[in-house]
Structures are given as structure tokens and as C-alpha cells.
Amino acid sequence: MTDSSTLFGRELRRYRLAAGLSLTGLAELVHYSKGHLGKIETGDKRAGIDLARLCDAALDAGGELAAMVTEDRVEPSSPAPVAEADDEVLMMTFAPDGTSWLVPMNRRQALAAGAVSLMATKLTPGALPAGARQESTIAAFKQLFNQSRKLGQMASPGIVLPTVVAQGHTVRGMAKSASGPQQIELLRLAARYQEYAGWLAQEAGDDRAALNWTNAAVDLADAAEDRDLAAHGLIRRALITLYRDDARQTIELAAQAQASNRASARTRGQAALREAQGHALAGDYDSCRRALDRAAVLLAAGEQPGELALGQSSVTDLTSMVTGWCLHDLGRPGEAAEILDDQVSRIPADSLRAHARFGTRQALAHASAGEVDHACGLAHGVLNSAEVVDSATIRTDLRRLARTLARWHNHGEVRILQERLSAALHVPIQ
């Protein structure tokens, strides 16, 4: 076994003895077998991050045990470089069965394929200046944008993204043809489309495209002097690093977003929530709580979401929901489950994506707390939503749920659930 496994085992035993607990007592608290914990202490088995967090909380180790495993993991790769918008175009292709692809290529490749000239014969830009001057046209595109956001809660990104890209491209073209206040309004709307496209790309599992769209959105927002969206771009990047388990970058990006004095209180509150999630990944309970408290104050002072809202809009009490999320990562699944039970029940019935995301966390919290039957029952309901929205980020937590439930692989309800989890994850459960 590696030296790190031996060191962790020694520290775990030291904290356990200092707490006056036997292996059996600790096993009952963290819902792992006595034999498994014994092998961890001797260095014969490597501790996973979930077990380290549970032990850390049970033994009041102040993040020391969790940090030992966190630091030993492979450092996540830095975000992929973002291509310059002027060097890259997106080709959208469609198949008869309804599937579609967004294929990035440089302008030379597109011209060689005849794609640009083909589009020019089909869609002429002559009507753009006239359309850009019509308030009714702008209002209609805002309605389309909000409808796309609503559809994104009920359908897979593969269904929504092509429409969002096409509409956003048109709005951006209209902005170039406009002037004065109308141009500013169109630039802001185009930025919202680009930002939403970035989120959909991440949901589809393409972090590189997500970063491209997000950076394009920030550029448009800068042109419209929309500092709120620029700060939100940092929050979006922090979401990518969060799902890579990169606590340090998540905290740093969220802190940068909060430092923007021209961003709204609501956006800075959302950034504080993301910072809290980063601290939870790092096992830092006190810093996480401070960030959650700061978020609660900012979100209470911030304006309600408007017609072009940024961020989560399907959760009524986002601070409480994220608190439940963080408590699980801090190794306190019982506390997390209690909060998430209440908050998930408040999600609107048609917000399938939000239900799948936070419902998975709810099931994960109950599983980590040893409530296997209840976790399986919740998971079946979650999968009804997850199978529809087909989210790469939600699958990350579904994999964690599958790993946690695998500790009870002989349990009847777990065996029944495994087939559905395999289908949702697109891989067999081992």
C-alpha cells in the first residue's frame, strides 16, 4: 500500500482513540463495516473521499482527515483554452431522426466545405436592421429565451441547445445592425443566450464548449456594460471546477465574482453559495458556514429574478438547498437529508432538471446515512426525471449514489435499482 494510505490509517486510528470509540462504534456512525475500517487503519485499503469526510465529521477532526485524501487525489486539469470567436465558427448539422450536432471548425475549413456560401444563399441579413429597430421583435425574442429556459427544465440539452444557439446567433446579428439603447438591449439579450448555451453545453458533458460560450457571453456583456453577467461568468466557470472536484479553483473563482462591486447582490449571493460548495469539498466546515451566511444576507437583499434571470430559478430557498448539498460533502448526511427532504418537496412538478439534480443529492444523503430502503425509493423517483433531462452533471452524483449503494450490493432494493442506474449512467454497475 502507498505511504499516504498508511498515514491516513494512522491518523484515523489516532482520532478514533482520542474520541473513545471502538472500530464497531465508528462503523455504526459512518455506516461502513468494521472490517473495512480496520483495513483502512492498517493501510491495507485506501480510503475514498466520501469515507474520509464521514470519519472527519464523526471524529470532529476539523477537516484534517478529509484534507489528507483530498490532497492525495490527482490535481484536476485546468480548464481547456478557449478558442477565439473570430477564429472559430459552429456548423450545425441535422439528421432525419431528429438528432443534431454542433461542430466547431475554423473559418477556412467552413469556407472549404462551402458552408458559409451555402448559408448565405438561404438566409440573407437584409432584414436584420429593420428587425433590430422593432421593440416587438426584441420582446418576442425575450419570450423565446424564457420559453427555452423553461424547456431546459423538462428536456435534454440535445433538444434545447440547437434552438438556443440559432436564436442567440440571430439576436447577436440584430445587435450589430442596431444602435443606441436598442443595441445595448440586444447585446444583453445575446449575452444571456450565450450564457445559457454554455450551461446547456456543460449539461451535455462538453466543458470546452461550455467555457467557449461563457467567455463569449462575458465579451458581449462587457460591450453592453453588463457587469452582472461578467461576474456570473466566473460563477459558471466555478461550477465546472466544482464538478471536477477542484475545491481550490472553485473557491478562487467564486471569490473573484463576489469582489465585483458592480454586480448585483443576487449574483454575489450566488457566488457566495458556490464558494460554500468549494469549502465543503475541501472539508472546511467553518469557512463553508461563513460563506452560506454571507449568501443568505446577499440573496435577501437582492432583487427577485427578472425577465432575463441568471442562475437557478426553480428553487425557492437556494441557500437552504445548497446548505443541504454542502452538509453531505462535509460528512454530515443526516443533517443534509433533513434539509433536502424539505427543500426538494418544494420544487415545482415541471422542473424535472432541478428535481433530478437536488433529488439525487437527497437520495445520496439518505444512502450515506445508512437509510438504504428510503434512498432506493427516492432514487427511483429521481431517475424518472434524470432519464428525461439526460444531464452529464447529474450523472456525476448518480455515480456517487451508485458507489455508495454498492456497499449494500446484496440488498434486494439495491439490486433492483442497479439496472436503472446502469441505464442512466450509460455504463454497467460493477
Continuous H helices in 259-351: 265-281, 285-301, 318-329, 333-344
The model's pLDDT over 66-105, given as tens digits with 9 standing for 90+, comes to 888 865 444 444 443 344 444 555 555 555 444 555 555 5
DSSP state of 411: S
Q: Does residue 29 form part of some domain?
A: yes
Q: Does residue 98 form part of some domain?
A: no
Task: Tell me which residue of 187, 262, 203 sits closest to 236, measured CA to CA.
Answer: 203
The pLDDT value given to residue 180: 87
Q: Is the pLDDT of residue 430 over 70?
A: no
The model's pLDDT over 222-268, given as tens digits with 9 standing for 90+, comes to 888 888 888 888 998 999 999 988 999 999 999 999 998 788 899 99
The pLDDT value given to residue 402: 92
The pLDDT value given to residue 296: 95
Q: What percent of the chain has pLDDT over 90?
A: 42
Asked which of 50, 72, 94 is the last residue of a domain, the reply is 72
The pLDDT value given to residue 302: 67
Q: Does residue 373 form part of some domain?
A: yes
DSSP state of 33: -
The model's pLDDT over 25-73, given as tens digits with 9 standing for 90+, comes to 999 989 898 899 999 989 888 888 889 888 998 898 888 888 888 654 4
Query: What's the CA angle centered on 242, arms 240 and 247, to 5 degrees?
Result: 130
- The Cα–Cα gap between 155 and 148 comes to 10
Q: Does residue 79 form part of some domain?
A: no
Number of H helices, E strands in the chain: 22, 2
Asked which of 37, 72, 107 is the last residue of a domain, the reply is 72
Q: Is the pLDDT of residue 375 over 60?
A: yes
Q: Confidence band (pLDDT; 50, 70, 90) for 427?
A: low
pTM above the 0.85 mark?
Answer: no
CB atoms within 10 A of CB 45: 17
The pLDDT value given to residue 306: 57
* Of 105 and 221, more confident: 221
Lowest mean pLDDT among 217-231, 280-294, 324-338, 402-416: 217-231
Lowest mean pLDDT among 5-9, 65-69, 114-118, 420-424: 114-118
- The Cα–Cα gap between 312 and 330 comes to 23
Q: Does residue 226 form part of some domain?
A: no
Which string of DSSP letters, residue by residue, matches 195-242?
HHHHHHHHHTT-HHHHHHHHHHHHHHHHHTT-HHHHHHHHHHHHHHHH
| CATH code (residue 58) | 1.10.260.40
The pLDDT value given to residue 3: 75
What average pLDDT does the chain have? 83
The pLDDT value given to residue 272: 97
The pLDDT value given to residue 317: 92
The model's pLDDT over 165-215, given as tens digits with 9 standing for 90+, comes to 989 988 988 888 888 888 898 998 999 999 899 989 999 889 888 888 888
The model's pLDDT over 288-298, given as tens digits with 9 standing for 90+, comes to 999 999 999 99
Q: Does residue 306 form part of some domain?
A: no
Q: Does residue 389 form part of some domain?
A: yes
Asked which of 14, 39, 72 is the last residue of a domain, the reply is 72
Q: At what angle do helices 3-18 and 34-42 cross, to 10 degrees?
A: 120
- The Cα–Cα gap between 189 and 193 comes to 6
Residue 342 grid cell: 424539505
The pLDDT value given to residue 324: 97
Q: Confidence band (pLDDT; 50, 70, 90) for 318?
A: very high
Q: Is the pLDDT of residue 271 over 90?
A: yes
Average pLDDT over residues 312-324: 89
The pLDDT value given to residue 221: 86
Q: Is the pLDDT of residue 346 over 90?
A: yes
Q: Is the pLDDT of residue 116 over 60?
A: no
The pLDDT value given to residue 86: 46
Q: Containing domain of residue 53, as a range?
A: 3-72
The pLDDT value given to residue 75: 45
The pLDDT value given to residue 119: 45
Q: Does residue 353 form part of some domain?
A: yes
Count of the separate structural domains present in the chain: 2
The pLDDT value given to residue 131: 54
